[in-house]
């Protein structure tokens, strides 16, 4: 076996340029796959991260009849006296923060433009709302007792030509189905880095939101952040006896999780196409080698090499070429991925509501993705390499010695 590998290695050195370019083709293929995998994982993780931090939390408590899609404000659909419930939830050691939120739909009117928005009534002092506080790009954050201030997402402000201090008219749906209208002052403008959220959201202090929607001491949801997402099921179980609906981030974000599954399935097809192309380059190189070295194959047969050993020789050449290609691919791939994991990859305004994606994707490559893709590459190329190897092994010694098939 050792001699087979040695001969295989030297054979690759006979036409260094050809071997190099074949390995390079494979390397670029693998680098591309690694980049795609890292990009996809970065995107999914970022989407989950944004959505959990800004919208869903790890867990939410809702009234059994609350329908998220209708943004209902009927008292029956809301949680009454959220503070007492929060005290109960916050007592659990795994909970980082629990805060009430009131959601309402509204129309924002400035000069001649009007835009439909979602109102988030939030507790300005809650830790869970820190991402909004951190995102302030001009003006200041809300205070709990502010009665006429609101915060706007940056792209929304730009669309309406609004700046901090400007006045804006807000028409909000109320609990009894009416519309309440009030002039607010833009206290600040925020950017969470995800356009889908910033484009359609305005923030009000909870008390003001409750007042304007006439929902009194009610909240749409209790938004819960955990110290670690691993505690999700544990905490959900602990809260199961409450007369409310408990939703986990997995069920709330099933779209992201399904997207990930679907993307993985698509990616597998994509991987196979890319690998089929790169494998064909390797196979082509080896078929040329079989034809060029026919007489040599005859000599090996003449001195007693069995068909199996000739097959192994060519498979060893494929394997070596592939391993060199994989090594090179890992170097190229990791360099590109490291760059994009630090500098990010600008994708612009890509998110939709319910699927928040940051404007920048930071690539994330896991060890298991790297290992999986490298092994798939090796496997596919070896399978493809069987063809030239069988071609060589099947040559009749007599014909091979004459340099004919």
Partner 1 sequence: MELIKVENVTKVYKTGTVETQALRGISLTIQSGEFLALVGPSGSGKTTLLQLLGCLDQPSSGKIYLNNKDVSQLNRNQRADIRRGTIGFIFQFFALIPTLTAYENVEMPLLLNGLSSTERRQRVTELLETVRMSNRAHYRPDQLSGGEQQRVAVARALATHPLLILADEPTANLDTENGKQVMEVMQRLNQETGTTFIFATHDPRLFGYAQRTIVLRDGQIVENSHASSTQK
Q: Which of positions 308-367 make contact with partner 1 (CB under 8 A)? A: 308-309
Q: Which of positions 13-32 make contact with partner 1 (CB under 8 A)? A: 13-14
Residue with smaller CB distance to partner 1, 106 or 290: 290
Residue with smaller CB distance to partner 1, 102 or 392: 392
The runs of H, that is alpha helices, within 51-174 are 82-90, 130-134, 154-160
The runs of H, that is alpha helices, within 179-306 are 195-198, 206-213, 232-238, 249-252, 254-292, 294-302
Identify whether the C-beta of residue 25 lies closer than 8 Å to the C-beta of residue 234. Answer: no
64 is a contact residue toward partner 1 (CB under 8 A):
no
What are the tokens at 314?
Answer: 């060519």
In the complex, what is the shortest distance from the CB of residue 26 to partner 1, in angstroms, rounded to a whole number?
22
In the complex, what is the shortest distance from the CB of residue 305 to partner 1, in angstroms, rounded to a whole number?
7
Residue with smaller CB distance to partner 1, 48 or 393: 393
Q: Which of 131, 34, 49 is nearest to 363 (CA)?
A: 34
Q: Which of 103, 53, 47, 73 is nearest to 226 (CA)?
A: 53
Residue with smaller CB distance to partner 1, 354 or 397: 397
What are the tokens at 78?
Answer: 């809301």
Stretch near partner 1 under the rule CB under 8 A, chosen from 5-13, 130-138, 218-226, 275-283: 5-13
Identify whether the C-beta of residue 100 lies closer than 8 Å to the C-beta of residue 131. Answer: no
Count, residues near partner 1 per rule CB under 8 A: 24
Distance CA 179, CA 220 (A): 18
7 is a contact residue toward partner 1 (CB under 8 A):
yes
Stretch near partner 1 under the rule CB under 8 A, chosen from 185-193, 228-236, 353-361, 395-403: 395-403
In the complex, what is the shortest distance from the CB of residue 311 to partner 1, in angstroms, rounded to a whole number?
12
Identify whether the C-beta of residue 98 lies closer than 8 Å to the C-beta of residue 222. Answer: yes
The single residue among 307, 323, 360, 382 that binds partner 1, judged by CB under 8 A, is: 307
Site string for partner 1, 284-303 (x = CB under 8 A): -----------xx--xxxxx
404 is a contact residue toward partner 1 (CB under 8 A):
no
131 is a contact residue toward partner 1 (CB under 8 A):
no
DSSP for 344-390, written as a single string: -EE--S--BTTB---SEE-----HHHHHHHHHHHHHHHHHHHHHHHH
Residue with smaller CB distance to partner 1, 319 or 401: 401
DSSP code of 22?
H
Binding site for partner 1 (CB under 8 A): 2-3, 7, 10-11, 13-14, 295-296, 299-309, 396-398, 401
């Amino acid at each position: 076996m050792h001699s087979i590998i040695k001969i295989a290695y030297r054979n690759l050195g006979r036409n260094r340029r050809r071997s190099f370019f074949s390995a390079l083709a494979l390397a670029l293929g693998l680098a591309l796959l690694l980049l795609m995998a890292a990009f996809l994982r970065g995107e999914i993780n970022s989407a989950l991260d944004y959505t959990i931090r800004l919208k869903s939390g790890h867990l939410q408590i809702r009234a059994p009849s609350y329908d998220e899609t209708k943004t209902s404000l009927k008292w029956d659909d809301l949680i009454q006296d959220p503070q007492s419930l929060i005290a109960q939830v916050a007592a659990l050691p795994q909970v980082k923060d629990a805060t009430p939120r009131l959601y309402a739909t509204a129309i924002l009117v400035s000069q001649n433009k009007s835009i439909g928005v979602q109102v988030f009534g939030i507790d300005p002092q809650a830790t869970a709302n820190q991402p909004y506080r951190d995102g302030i790009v001009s003006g200041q954050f809300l205070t709990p007792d502010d009665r006429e201030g609101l915060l706007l997402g940056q792209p929304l402000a730009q669309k309406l030509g609004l700046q901090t201090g400007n006045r804006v008219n807000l028409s909000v749906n109320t609990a009894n189905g009416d519309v309440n209208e009030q002039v607010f002052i833009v206290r600040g403008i925020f950017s969470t880095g995800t356009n889908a959220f910033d484009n359609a959201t305005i923030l009000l202090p909870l008390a003001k939101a409750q007042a304007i929607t006439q929902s009194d001491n009610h909240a749409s949801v209790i938004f819960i952040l955990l110290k670690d997402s691993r505690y999700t099921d544990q905490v959900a179980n602990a809260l199961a006896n409450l007369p409310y609906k408990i939703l986990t981030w997995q069920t709330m974000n099933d779209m992201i999780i399904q997207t990930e599954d679907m993307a993985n399935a698509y990616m597998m097809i994509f991987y196979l196409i890319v690998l089929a192309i790169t494998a064909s380059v390797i196979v082509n190189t080896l078929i040329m080698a079989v034809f060029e070295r026919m007489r040599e194959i005859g000599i090996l047969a003449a001195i007693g090499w069995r068909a199996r050993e000739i097959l192994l020789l060519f498979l060893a050449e494929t394997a070596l070429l592939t391993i060199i290609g994989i090594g090179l691919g890992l170097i190229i791939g990791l360099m590109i991925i490291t760059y994009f994991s630090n500098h990010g990859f600008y994708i612009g305004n890509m998110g939709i509501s319910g699927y928040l994606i940051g404007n920048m994707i930071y690539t994330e490559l896991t060890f298991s993705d790297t290992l999986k893709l490298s092994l798939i590459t090796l496997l596919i190329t070896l399978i493809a390499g069987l063809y030239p190897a069988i071609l060589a092994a099947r040559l009749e010694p007599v014909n091979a010695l004459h340099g004919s098939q």
